[in-house]
Structure formats: C-alpha cells, structure tokens
Amino acid sequence: MAADSETLDTVQALTQSGYKWGFETTIEMDLAPKGLNEDIIRLISERKEEPAWMLEWRLKAYAAWLTMEEPDWARVEHPRIDYQDLHYYAAPKKKAGPRSLDEVDPELLLMYEKLGIPLKERAILAGVEPDPDERPQIAVDAVFDSVSVATTFRETLKKAGVIFCPISEAVRDYPDLVRQYLGTVVPIADNFFSALNSAVFTDGSFVYIPPGVRCPMELSTYFRINARNTGQFERTLIIADAGSHVSYLEGCTAPQRDENQLHAAVVELVAHDDARIKYSTVQNWYPGDANGRGGIYNFVTKRGACRGARSKISWTQVETGSAITWKYPSCVLIGEDSVGEFYSVAVTNNHQQADTGTKMIHIGKGTTSTIVSKGISAGHSNNTYRGLVRIAPSATGARNHTQCDSLLIGDQSGAHTVPYIESRNPTAKVEHEATTSKIAEDQLFYCRQRGLSEEDAVNLIVNGFCKDVLKELPMEFAVEAQKLLAVSLEGSVG
C-alpha cells in the first residue's frame, strides 16, 4: 500500500473528533407536541404573544405551504423528511425574553461561554480604560432552539438609534416597521421552505438602522439548535435606511446527533439609498459523522433588496457544516447603480452535500454585481455551485463578474458548477470564469519537504485558495473561519 493511502486510512480513523461543538446542554424545555397543523401555529403565535395580524400572516403561509412541493432540482439526496415528526417549538422553560442577563439560566450562559460567544457586556461603563488588545465589542443576539435568550448592548445601540432585538419582540414593539418590510423581499410563497418558515418561524433578529447612522459596532446573532427532533426556523430582518451602514455576523452550531435535524431560515435585507449592509456567515452546523449519519439539513432562503440608488449589499459566507446545504444568498438590484456582492467558501467533507450559490437580479440602470465562489470538496462529498445572473431589459449598463473555483481533495469527491446567465439588455456585460483544480501531489510534497505535516500543508493550500473570500470577512471572523477550515478538512488528505 502506498504510504499515501495508508496515511489516509489512519487519519480517517481518527477523524470526527473534529466537531467540538457537539455537546448537549441539559435544560428544562417547553416543547410543543410533534407535528404541524393550524393549532401548532396558533400555539406558537400565542407563546410569542403576537398580534392578530401576525397569526393571520402565518396561517396564510401555512395554507400556501400545504399546496407546495419540496423542491427537487438541487444536487442533493436525502430520505423524505416527515414534517409531522418534528417539534416546531422548543424553548428553555422560563418566561420568554428575559429582560437582563441576570435572568438567563446560568446553564445557558455556561453553554455560550463554552462556545466562545461573549454574552457579557464588558465593564466599559465603569470608566475602565479599554485595553487596546481586547476584542472589539460585538453586540450579540443569542437564539437557542426557538427563542432568543439574550441580546447584548441594546442600550448602547439604542443611543445611536439602532434597533437590535429578537424579531418576536419587534413584532410586538415595532409592528409598523415589521409589517412594512416582513415578507417583501422573500414573499411568503417564494418557495417551499420560505412558506414553511413563514408559518412557523419562532425567533431570529431584527435590525433597523435609521437614516445616516453608521452602526457603532458589529451586530451578530448566534444560533444554537439543542433540542432533539426539533426544527429551527429563524427569521431575520435587517433594514438599513438611507445612508446608513451596518455589518452583521451570523454563527451557528448544534449538538452531535445520529438523526438529521432541519434548519429552514429566512433572512431578508433591505437597503435604501446609499445604504450598505455587509452580512457575514460562518455556518458550522453539525455535519454528520464520517459515514454520513446525522447532521443538520440546512435549507435556507437569504435575499437582499437594494431598493435605493447606490445601495450595496454584500454577502460573505464560510460554509463548513451541515449534512446538506441548500442556500443561495441573493441580491435584487433595483436602485440605480446599486451593488451586490457574494463571496463564498463552501467546504464539504465525508458525506456532506452542498448545493449553494447566489442569484444576482439586475433591474436598475448601472447595477453591478460580483460573485466569488470557492468550493472545496473532500472525502465522498459533493459540492455544487449554482448561480443565476439575470439582467432585466431595464438594467442598462449592468455588469457582473463571476469567479467560480473548485478544489478537489482526494479522488472520491465531486465538484459541480451550474451557472445560469440570462441577459435581456444588450448593453450589459456579464463575465464568468471557472476553474477546477486538485491539490497537486507536487504542492503537498513541496510543503512537506519544508517540514509541514500533510494536514498543515492542506490547510495552507486551502487557505491560500480561499484568500479572496476570507479577506472579505471581518478580522475576528476571518481567524475563526481559518481554524474552522482546518477542522473541517481534518483527515481529508488523499
């Protein structure tokens, strides 16, 4: 046996110690009975103390969902999902929405500490000189199963006029804003999963940045699925009013379980004139074990609307987790000269499947979009880039550049690129470049000859391959993402 495949075998046997976020938190839960029907939806709405319009909206979505079929065009395979075998509401037993951190279950605080999520606001108020080496401050909304358990720095943000709160609270406290925007970017019946989400969404974050305000700190939401047989359906709505700027980060993990769990989120972004939204994701749901058992099904609809002139929405994602990823963060470029960007690294290992990409819909004059997608496939995994660039007849002078690169590790993995380009305006300029490469034997040998282990060599080469995307992430996230790439590819050398 060649030393090479021997290494592969040994290393593969050692894998799967990899997912260090796989622990479970024991906490008393308020769990809705399994299954989905109008009563469950009423129960969710009641638990959230929602106004009547919200319940009507949910029921309308449910009715639409009943008429829809699960999409089957993605290059992913999984056993039929039994939507009646899931819990649609799970919350730590305690009255919803604690007002301060002191009210949060210490068991939960401990869990977030273990995950490295700062839920304690730093003692900056006490007049202590900030330590220059200290991590920059980030406001966090922590969503645990179906509810938001804590949102930090709300007072600081409020002073700047920024609203950052769980969406369940926004429905009650800012109903006009929510009604004005909810479902306007991703309509209820946009697709099967968005309809499901609209019917049963439980929590998520709501952000409103008033005109001309630059959000004073990074905002972030941290999603954790903990309960067994529970779907997580979060809903995020971010509105950047004219001339405002905001950078938002999203992270997620789940315990290691043998069965699959469903995560079907909807994210809507709205950018008005000259507004900028930067949305970064480090997706690290449990990917399943080396044999493809367990893991999260991540069926997510993310879309941003650049409604104002010169507005800009930028999606950056590092996707390393989930058994199946079905996700296409998109931009609808309506405002003149508005800009859409999509930077993505998607890593699949073992038996993971990812079908991910973006849609750039050019409607306004002079709109531009950039797509940089880096797919890395190892093990027996399949990684598909699926992207649509559509230029409407009205989009005079629109431009798009797409760079789509795939890297294969080993000889059992697959990389697929499915670009759709529809241009209905003769002045538009659309460019698409794609490459597929393997980590070459001579690159590995070169690194090892210099003293790097095989794993370190793969990490170095992969990080180099992803550099164009990683540099788009906020500094702190970039470091985390690099470490995550290393863990995800552990044992993938072949």
What is each CA distance from 491 to 140, 415, 457, 482, in whole angstroms?
33, 19, 12, 16
Q: Which residues contact 59 (CB under 8 A, 6 or more apart)?
A: 38, 41, 199
Asked if 451 is part of the footprint of other proteins (rule: CB under 8 A), the reply reads: yes
Asked if 446 is part of the footprint of other proteins (rule: CB under 8 A), the reply reads: yes
How far is 411 from 405, CA to CA, in rounded Å? 17
Site stretch for other proteins (CB under 8 A), options 11-19, 209-217, 313-321, 441-449: 441-449
Asked if 153 is part of the footprint of other proteins (rule: CB under 8 A), the reply reads: no
Site stretch for other proteins (CB under 8 A), options 54-62, 277-285, 410-418, 457-465: 457-465
Residue 468 beta carbon to other proteins: minimum distance, rounded to whole angstroms: 8
Binding other proteins (rule: CB under 8 A), the pick from 325, 465, 492, 494 is 465
How far is 360 from 386, CA to CA, in rounded Å? 12
Phi–psi pair at 310, nearest 5 degrees? 55, 20
Asked if 345 is part of the footprint of other proteins (rule: CB under 8 A), the reply reads: no
Amino acid at 149: V
SS3 content of the chain, % helix, strand, coil (to 5): 25, 35, 40
Size of the site for other proteins (CB under 8 A): 26
Site stretch for other proteins (CB under 8 A), options 115-123, 163-171, 316-324, 434-442: 434-442
Residue 470 beta carbon to other proteins: minimum distance, rounded to whole angstroms: 9
Q: Which is nearer to other proteins, 295 or 375 (CB)?
A: 375
Asked if 2 is part of the footprint of other proteins (rule: CB under 8 A), the reply reads: yes
Asked if 453 is part of the footprint of other proteins (rule: CB under 8 A), the reply reads: yes
Asked if 403 is part of the footprint of other proteins (rule: CB under 8 A), the reply reads: no
Site stretch for other proteins (CB under 8 A), options 238-246, 297-305, 339-347, 464-472: 464-472
How far is 245 from 243, CA to CA, in rounded Å? 7
Beta-sheet strand order (sheet of 276-283): 147-151, 138-144, 218-224, 245-253, 276-283, 312-319, 339-348, 368-377, 399-408, 429-438
Amino acid at 347: V
Asked if 434 is part of the footprint of other proteins (rule: CB under 8 A), the reply reads: no
Asked if 454 is part of the footprint of other proteins (rule: CB under 8 A), the reply reads: yes
Asked if 447 is part of the footprint of other proteins (rule: CB under 8 A), the reply reads: yes
Asked if 433 is part of the footprint of other proteins (rule: CB under 8 A), the reply reads: no
Q: Which residues contact 204 (CB under 8 A, 6 or more apart)?
A: 143, 148, 166, 167, 221, 234, 235, 236, 237, 265
User: How far from the centroid of its chain's Cα atoms is residue 295's Cα?
Assistant: 16
Q: Which is nearer to other proteins, 239 or 447 (CB)?
A: 447
Residues that bind other proteins (CB under 8 A): 2-4, 440-443, 445-454, 456, 460-461, 463-468
